Each structure stands twice: as C-alpha cells, then as structure tokens.
Structure 1
Amino acid sequence: MLPPLLDHLRRRRRGYLALCACLVLGLAPERPDRSPGPQLAAVLERDFLSVQTRNTPTTYYEGRQGPTGFEYELMRRFADHLGVSLTLDADHNIAGVPEAVRTEGDMGAAALPLDPSREGLIFSRPIMPLQPLLVYRRGLPPPEDIDDLVGLEIGTLTDTGTDRVMRELQADHPRLSWKESDDIEVAALLGQVADGALDAAVVFEHQFRLNRLFFPEVEDGFRLGRPLSLAWAFPTGQGLGLVREANRFLTDLQGSGLLSRLETRYFGRDDYLEYVGARTFIGHVHERLPEYDGLFRAAARQTGFDWKLLAAVGYQESHWRPEATSPTGVRGLMMLTNATASDLDVDDRLDPAQSIDGGARYLRELKDRLPESITGEDRLFMALAAYNVGLGHLYDARRLTEMQGGDPDAWTDVREALPLLQEREWYSKTRYGYARGGEPVIYVRNIRRYYEILAYVDRSQQQFHQLNARRPEASETGIFDLVPPSS
C-alpha cells in the first residue's frame, strides 16, 4: 500500500495532468464542483434537450423504422441518460451548426470535428476518429501520395475538418490546390467525382464506406494526415454541467462496449445492398428456395402477385434466411419492421410462414395506397420502392419529379429523382427529409433481375450465365470555392 502522502500527491498529479490534457484538446475538464450550472439546470427544468444537427446519413435521417443515424442514436440515449425528451433542429448545413449552438441550442451533434480554435464553443471528449481519405474517379492513374494530387481537380466540404487537413498539407506542399463548398453533402461530392466534374475528393473514411455502393465509379486512394476526432459542441458561458454529463455518458458508453458496437452497426459495413452474382443466386434457388416456394405460392394466391416476384423480394431482403436481422433491426425472411409486423398481426417475424404472408400483404397494401394515376408496371415498381424506403419518401421523390418537369407517375422519372433525397439542396424541400434514395433504385433493379432469373429457371430449369447488374447513375452539382496553391 502506498504511504498516504504519496498516494495523495499521485492523485493530485493525475488530476493536474488530466486538466492539462483537457485544456490542450479543448475539452471540458472534470472539476470538483458538481453543480449543474445554468444550462443543465435549464434542460432539466424544461424537460427536453435541444440539439442542433444535420439531416445526413452519418448523423440523423428518417429510415424505415423512423428516426435513425449514428449520432441520433447517441443523442437519444443521452437524452434518456438525462431523463428528458429530445428535440432536434436539423435544418442546417455543417457550417451553420456552430453558430446555432452558440445562439440557440443546448448542443451540436452533426459530425463535427473537435476544434479547440472555434470561439464560443467547448467540445466533449472524442467520440470516434475521423480519418480523411482521398478518393478518385476510376480510370485515372491511381494517386499514391500527395505529390500525385498536384494538377487534379479535387473537392472537399467546408468546415468538416477535411478542409483543415488540406490546409495543413498545403503548408508542406504549396502547389496543392482544391475546391471546397458548404452547399452540398458527401453524396453530392462523390457524385461530382463519378460524373467527371472532379477528379478526386477528400472525405472521411467512414463516409465513403457508407456511400461507396452508390458510386462504383469512385475508388478509394489513400489516407491523408492524422485522424481528427468527432465530438459534440456546447456553448461557452453556460456552465460545465451539461458537458460533464455528456463526457460521463460517453465514457460509460465506451466502457460498456456499446459505442464500438454502434460504430460497427452504422459504419462497419458497405455491402448492405451488395450485388450478388447470378451463380450464387441460382445456387440459392436450388438449395434454399424449395423450402419456401410453397409459402410464396400461397401468399401470391392471397394477394394477387406472381409468386416469383414475392420470392425475388424475399431474396433481396434476406437471401431467403428466416432468421436474418439488419443493422437497423428489421427481421425475418421479408425483413419486416416491428411496427409493420404489429400492424399486420405478425406475432413472430422469424417464422417464415408469417413473414412471407405479412410481407406479401404489406406490399399489396402499399400498392393499393398509391394514387390511381399510377398504373401498370410503374405501380408495381413504386410499391417495391416504398417497401424499401417508405411511402413518405416515395411521395417526396414524386414531388421532386414534378419540380424537375418529370412525370410523377412514371417509374423511369421517379427513379431519377429518388437519389436527390441524399442531397441537401433537394431533401430540404421535402416533407420527410433525407433518405438514402439510391437504395430503392438498386432495390427495384435487383428484384427485377432476380424475378427475370426465376422466370427463366421456372420455364427451362436450365443453367444460365451470370448477369451483370447495371449500377445507378449519379448526377450531382454544387458550388465550390477554389483554394489556390500557396505559391
């Protein structure tokens, strides 16, 4: 056992070092004073926490089960930790969040990089690393180091932290130049690369993993600089009670392993809607489908669909695995949400018979709820898209189609508008906001291909050659400011 005096001195030294570290990082130090301070007291008094955020896939958006997103999950849990409800203001781009935190909200959670130089803000402890990544258009000579970037048209986003990394790199590489914008989000930036408007872009690694499925023309290059840190922002001058509670909450979340599991759930996969080769699919046709084709046929008789279409939906949803569970919690062979299953009186989502019957009835319900002006195959394809992204987001896409002069009753026009739900310029004009609009386009395309294969097998029962899926097209625009070489 340490002598009492030595133990006391060591405890004081640890506290001093912790305080220094907090000051260097711009974090709120833990102080002996445990008073809540005016901000935390106000939050508890009014019984809700007001958060400034962004409508993006890495932060917060409306998914099939309602609000979702990595930081939304953390915000919701933090509000529960405080014992209050949660209110969000998501009508911001990243450049607008800090000022909104200073003047309006209790805190900001919007994929913000920890930046001690920001006036009027104090940051929480780091939540997760943000690794800048150079991505480039397929077909270009693969860049291997920073010198290879000179002369390329490179884009990044203002105030995200990647622009700060580029300026730090320019100090040692003065010929480096790039464009930056605060009017677009990551999906639009990657679209610029895919379309050839840019040669390359600098984004964070987890953002690219989340979006790469929709931009197969974009390749990952190499990491740039040291990782930054994701953190929450709080206004100064309001006491440290709320910041302390956030730090305590995040520390406990990390210690329990839940923070790591949430990172993996939201950012650890980039193959949620992977293209499956035809040979793999036909193998499953022979090995898995015979166990369930009677159930698909029975559900088809009850709902009026072709059984092969329902089977194609089931394969796209779960690869005909009755125990399947997605990262967002939808379950079963037809991947029903808990709310949808309840509405359909499905007691056990993992029971193949109940799941197939419920999924077929849900698809029929969606198809019947569409406007009568949508007819033929267009009606079926839009019902399938709504099964994936939700009826509200489909209606938003139809409205965007009209705004662009297209036909909201034609799937060929609506599928061009759906990816716009990933762009702030467009989703800010809709009722339901951000959606991963590229997913239903791929979803419908895959189901059509699986149906075609099943129809072929059903007719001939012969082997076939692997089919190549056509990837979605991306067309994004944005306004950039040029950052010229420094010499």
Structure 2
Amino acid sequence: MNLIFFRTFLLYFLLTQITFASDHAKGFKPPKVQQQLYHLAKLYHFVATKEFKGILETQLENYRPIFEKIGHKYNVPWTLLATQAYQESRWQSLIEEELEKRAKFLSEVQKSLPKNLEGKNIWALGLVAYKLGKEHFYDAQSLTALHGKNPYLWKDLKEIVPLLHYKYYYKNLRYGYANGFDAIAYVDAIQHYYNLLIEYELAMLTKESSNGAKK
C-alpha cells in the first residue's frame, strides 16, 4: 500500500477541516468527500502505525547506536532523532552527516528559546522550525503574537502556522508564503512515532525486568 498516497489525502483532509470547521461546529453535516477523506486519514494512520511498530522490532537495534551517539553529542533525545529520521526516510537511507545536521539544528533552536519551556514543547517548536525554515518560523511566531497568543507555546503556534498558506496572511509577513499544513502534519507524525517508540522502549524494559526477576 502506497503510504505517500494516503499522506497526500491526509494533508488535503487537514485543508478541508479548516474550510468546514465553523459550519461543522454549528451542526453542519460534512460533505461526503470530507467523510471519505476522514476515513482515508484513519486508514493511513492505522497502516503507518502498524508499519512503524514492525520496523521497531526488526531494525531499531541496528540503528540505535548511531541515534544515541549523535543525540548525546548535541544534547537532543535520541528517540526524537530516530523518529524524525523515520519520518524523513523510513530509515532506508540513514546518513550520519544528515542526522548531525538535524541534531545541530534542533540544538540551536533549543538554545534560542526561553529556558523555562517544557521539553516536548521545545522539540515541537524545533521540528516545525526545521520543516518551515527558521525565517518562516519567525514569521509564524510574529503572527502568533499578533493574534494575542504565546509564540513559544506549541499549542498556540500550531493554530497559526497553517495561516502561512493563505495570501491574506503571508502577504504582510517578511518571508512570505510557507506550507504550514505540511509543517503541522510533519510534527504530528513525528510526535506520533515518538510516542510509539517510548511505549516500545518501556515495554522492552518491563519485559527485561520480568525476565530478570524469574532467574
């Protein structure tokens, strides 16, 4: 099954969600095509989750040392680097130089943010900055502040990033248009894979502990 195909539909579904959000909130019944896209998005989510879980069981141990080494070097969680790399290439072409570039970028974003931010919030901001590019990330932060929201809070920034897609908003921004929908989908996917990886790691630790207690 072509996951790229389903990803395309998922992104289009996000676009339709923005278009019909206000009507739906008033009890408007979504058009048939939107309902179909919703089911396609759920199918993509199911297939992608199943595929990732299988790859964790068969391939993670081969790549873990690389992720841990680079994560330690740049003070970035190796689990984050692993899931970002999976989103980028499904671990099919892991190049240490590329991993280092991403880790260095995330580390630089982390250092530029206020020190009192919570970890997951920091890395979500780092990921969206990576996908958008720093210039568009700064635009998104400015627009978030302009809307009276916190530009350093992922929950708030996430609501604004899609607006970079629309000329009404980006025409007044310093760096112009950016595909905000794609950036949001990128971060959401990595966060989903990250949670699955953490669950997998905890399950492995529990299993090892249980086996150790039996000996």
- Bin the TM-score by the shorter chain: 0.7 to 0.9
Alignment of 1:39-58 (within 5 A): none
Larger Rg: 1
Match of 2:69 among 277, 280, 298: 298
Matched, 1:424 2:160: no
Match of 1:354 among 92, 97, 108: 97
- Indicate the RMSD between aligned Cα atoms, in angstroms: 3.0
- Give the TM-score normalised by structure 1: 0.34
Taking the aligned partners of 1:358 and 1:434, their CA distance within structure 2 comes to 24
- Equivalent residues, number: 182
Q: CA deviation at 1:280?
A: 0.8
Mapped contact 1:312–1:451 kept (Cα < 8 A): yes
Q: CA deviation at 1:399?
A: 1.2
Higher percent of residues as strand: 1
Q: Deviations over 1:348-396 (max 9, x none)?
A: xxxx2222223212221232234x3772232221111111111111111
Counterpart for residue 19 of structure 2: 192
Could you tell me which amino acid in structure 1 is paired with residue 19 of structure 2? Answer: Q
Structure 1, gaps ≥5 residues long: 1-137, 139-186, 202-215, 221-270, 323-332, 334-351, 463-487
Mapped contact 1:193–1:199 kept (Cα < 8 A): no
Counterpart for residue 364 of structure 1: 107
1:460–1:195 CA distance, 2 compared to 1 (3 A) = same
Taking the aligned partners of 1:360 and 1:287, their CA distance within structure 2 comes to 24
Taking the aligned partners of 2:16 and 2:131, their CA distance within structure 1 comes to 25
Counterpart for residue 161 of structure 1: none
Taking the aligned partners of 2:185 and 2:133, their CA distance within structure 1 comes to 15
Mapped contact 1:385–1:441 kept (Cα < 8 A): yes
Matched, 1:307 2:78: yes
Taking the aligned partners of 1:373 and 1:299, their CA distance within structure 2 comes to 22
Taking the aligned partners of 2:163 and 2:203, their CA distance within structure 1 comes to 40
Taking the aligned partners of 1:439 and 1:390, their CA distance within structure 2 comes to 12
Could you tell me which amino acid in structure 2 is paired with residue 217 of structure 1? Answer: Q
Q: CA deviation at 1:188?
A: 7.0
Where does structure 1 differ by over 4 angstroms across 4 or more consecutive aligned residues?
A: 187-190, 197-201
Mapped contact 2:131–2:186 kept (Cα < 8 A): yes
Matched, 1:411 2:154: yes
1:307–1:456 CA distance, 2 compared to 1 (3 A) = same
Matched, 1:436 2:179: yes
**Identity, % of aligned positions:** 29
Structure 2, gaps ≥5 residues long: 1-12, 206-215
Taking the aligned partners of 2:16 and 2:200, their CA distance within structure 1 comes to 41
Mapped contact 1:300–1:310 kept (Cα < 8 A): yes
Could you tell me which amino acid in structure 2 is paired with residue 291 of structure 1? Answer: N
Taking the aligned partners of 2:169 and 2:204, their CA distance within structure 1 comes to 46
Alignment of 1:149-188 (within 5 A): none
Counterpart for residue 51 of structure 2: 280
- Give the TM-score normalised by structure 2: 0.73
Q: CA deviation at 1:295?
A: 0.2
Q: CA deviation at 1:406?
A: 0.9
